[in-house]
Amino acid sequence: MRLLSTICALLLCAAFSAPAIAADTYPTRPIKIIVPWPAGGVADFLARIAADGLSQKLGQPVIVDNRAGAGTNIGSEFVAKASPDGYTLLLASSNNAVNMTLYGKMPYDTVKDFSPISLLAIVPNILVVNPKVPVHSVKELIDLAKANPNKVTYASAGNGSPAHLAAEKFKQLAHVEMLNVPYKGAAPAVTDLIRGHVDVMFTNIPASLGSIKAGQLRAIAIGSKTRSSALPELPTIAESGVPNYEAVAWYGLEAPAGTPREIIEKLQGVLVQTMKSPDTMQHLVQEGTEPVISSPDALADRIRTDVITYRNLIQTTGIHIE
């Protein structure tokens, strides 16, 4: 009996100490960051910065694996169903919160199937127009749209994309009607905006900053609560006459649900060192992103809040995937 009790006690100790041992030795092999977007975009850019920092600090290769498709669902599902051992991570985004309502049937649960690690950056939407459009402020855009209901066209990167949701929120709060012209991605949408085939777009700063500086697009206002460090002279949409307006995308790192907390905290600690280095922060700001490192719990709270926020917006505007 005494022998049985001793064995049980040893097994219990081993069970409780396993995560700590895993964290002490982790990682012992390469880590993979799944980016559910094509190479070259904001998510890919952020994933590669995080990967470089993690690799340097953890002493193992960190590989960026682009698995685009189905509005980020293909790559996200892959991570949701991966082993919760810290070797397969997801470059998550606000799209994951949007998809919970946008898609009728989801292959994973954004809230339950992942263990948040940290936010990496906030990317504000920016309101830009073709220079030939006679608009230089938010007020002028509202006046133009009210005088010409559904004749002012706005480009979006497809139904349910951040650009689409940002425009629909603007329409809702500004009480205007504009016509959505959906594209298969942000790049062709921006290209057609420059060519004058559409009038307006709510895109992100990294996708449009070069065109703004080149005079190909006119920036009107920024969608964040505060002004952007990349374009400090640009007013926010909220301060320009649409109170409570905010349209930003967030990007963060997550692991499959069930990943040991010690590993999550180890990764988050390394990200703090990586993303808060002066060189990295300057690089991110120059590209139009706002670096934000958070606790795992803060990212979890952000996801839960955004699922509700986007559900309300999608349901009230009737946005759907065709």
Question: What one-character-per-residue DSSP string does 146-207 give?
Answer: HHSTTTSEEEESSTTSHHHHHHHHHHHHHT---EEEE-SSHHHHHHHHHHTSSSEEEEEHHH
Residue 2: the pLDDT is: 54
Instruction: Give the confidence band of 21 by pLDDT, cuts at 50, 70, 90.
Output: very low
pLDDT 10s digits, 199-234 = 999 998 888 888 999 999 999 999 999 998 888 999
Of the candidates 308, 300, 287, 290, the residue with the CA atom closest to the CA atom of residue 253: 300
Residue 253: the pLDDT is: 98
pLDDT 10s digits, 294-317 = 999 999 999 999 999 999 999 998
**Please, what are the domains in the chain?**
12-123+249-317 (3.40.190.150), 124-240 (3.40.190.10)
Residue 8: the pLDDT is: 52
User: Cα 7–13–19 angle (5° rounding)?
Assistant: 140
Instruction: Give the confidence band of 18 by pLDDT, cuts at 50, 70, 90.
Output: very low
Instruction: Give the confidence band of 11 by pLDDT, cuts at 50, 70, 90.
Output: low
pTM: 0.87
First vs last C-alpha separation in the chain: 66
pLDDT 10s digits, 251-276 = 999 999 999 999 999 999 999 998 88
Q: How many C-beta atoms lie closer than 10 Å to residue 199's C-beta?
A: 23
Q: What is the mean pLDDT of residues 173-199?
A: 93
pLDDT 10s digits, 49-106 = 999 999 999 999 999 999 999 889 999 999 999 999 999 999 999 999 999 999 988 9
Residue 285: the pLDDT is: 85
pLDDT above 70: percentage of residues in the chain? 93
